[in-house]
Amino acid sequence: MASEVIYGVLGITYSTNTGKFLLLKHRNGFWTFPGGAREIEDETIESTLMRELREEIGLGPDQYLMIKTPIKNEFTYGQEKPNRMGKTGITHLFLVKVHPKTKPRLRNEIIETKWVEKRKVFQMVEFPDIQRMFMKSLELITASK
């Protein structure tokens, strides 16, 4: 029997003007990029990211440019999410160019935001899967300049 698949998104938020990346601090203490699992009301994986950007940091579609990438991360949920344990997760990676004058607002589970340089992302983001996706995104960001 096939395992249930939970689709999700991760948006690498950055400013082309400053070269910095926007990280979010979750109420559980970890730093990450905007994202999350697709919900019933999300029509597409793109609308999932749009909802997450709105819910987590109050961004509307006029404040960013979203670029879908071919990068995906497939994994099996472990004990960190007991209600999903043993299920397959597939996270789709997007680049999110944030307009330079955008001021993110703290929403829901996010307690802090911070614009950081590339090297600082690797120090602050502790999850290896997200670090790997970030590394792959850097190649795409560099190629799109």
Alpha carbon 123 to chain centroid distance? 17
pLDDT tens readout for residues 67-124: 999 999 999 888 777 888 889 999 999 999 998 778 899 888 899 999 999 999 999 9
Whether the CB-CB separation of 111 and 26 falls below 8 Å is answered with yes
Whether the CB-CB separation of 11 and 52 falls below 8 Å is answered with yes
Q: Kindly report the backbone phi and psi dihedral angles of residue 127, in degrees, each rounded to the nearest multiple of 5, phi listed first.
A: -85, 120
Percent of the chain past pLDDT 90, that is, above it, reads 72
The residue type found at 113 is T
- CATH architecture for segment(s) 5-143: Alpha-Beta Complex (3.90)
Prediction pTM value: 0.91
- CA-based nearest residue to 49, from 18, 13, 21, 83: 13
Average pLDDT across the chain, whole number: 92
Tokens of 30: 């970890």
Tokens of 49: 């990211």
